[in-house]
A and B are shown apart, each in its own frame.
Chain A
């Protein structure tokens, strides 16, 4: 079936460096994507979203890039800080005869070292 997946399960970066987390999706009909951050012991927290009519969207220290041609999504975090250490999920909506469901990828663990 169609699914959302992540290229790298773990990513270790030094404080101050930029981080890039990648995500591949297979449903070419998907038109809305969301990145979530999950810290230990907490629920997923919304970071940024992007619609398929955009290639790039910027937030505070984060940028999401969407390449519809190769069905690839990436999250860039500038000047990574220790507080950015968490698991990052990309998510897309799947539609079925039972309605819409936000489908999450497996997640990438980001570890920021001092």
Chain B
């Protein structure tokens, strides 16, 4: 168990809908990272937050947004969902702000199915 908690484990929804994925980092970790894993694209970095502030941004669609709350949990919001958004979404955490020298600890993921 990595200590990173993600809910829900599975989510089934329809195109055009909006969903929220939740992540609680390891105790003491201030950074939260979101990744998308699909069969054709592998693990893709979406966005990172450190202590409530956006720190780094990857290939995140404009339909997607995230935030980190004062208690350090994070939410990833996916809107106007398309079939191609079906994927595993992982959250990871680390104690430091993102200096390129830290290992990330991953949760078990949320499997999103858009029908």
Q: Residues of A with Cβ closer than 8 Å to B?
A: 31-32, 34, 36, 41-46, 49, 51, 89, 93, 95-96, 98-107
Pick the contact of A104 from B42, B103, B107 — CB < 8 Å?
Answer: B42
Contacts between the two chains (Cβ within 8 Å), count: 60
**Residues of chain B at interface, number, CB under 8 A:** 24
Question: A44 vs B45: C-alpha distance in the bound complex, in angstroms?
Answer: 13
Q: Which residue of A lies closest to B33 (CB)?
A: A102
Contact A89 B43 (CB under 8 A): yes
Task: Point out which of A43, A93, A104 has the most chain B C-beta atoms below 10 A from its C-beta.
Answer: A43
0/1 string, B104-115, CB within 8 A of A gives 1: 111111000000
Q: Which residue of A lies closest to B106 (CB)?
A: A43
Task: Tell me the smallest distance from the CB of A104 to a CB of chain B, in Å.
Answer: 4
Let me know if B98 is at the binding interface, CB within 8 A: yes
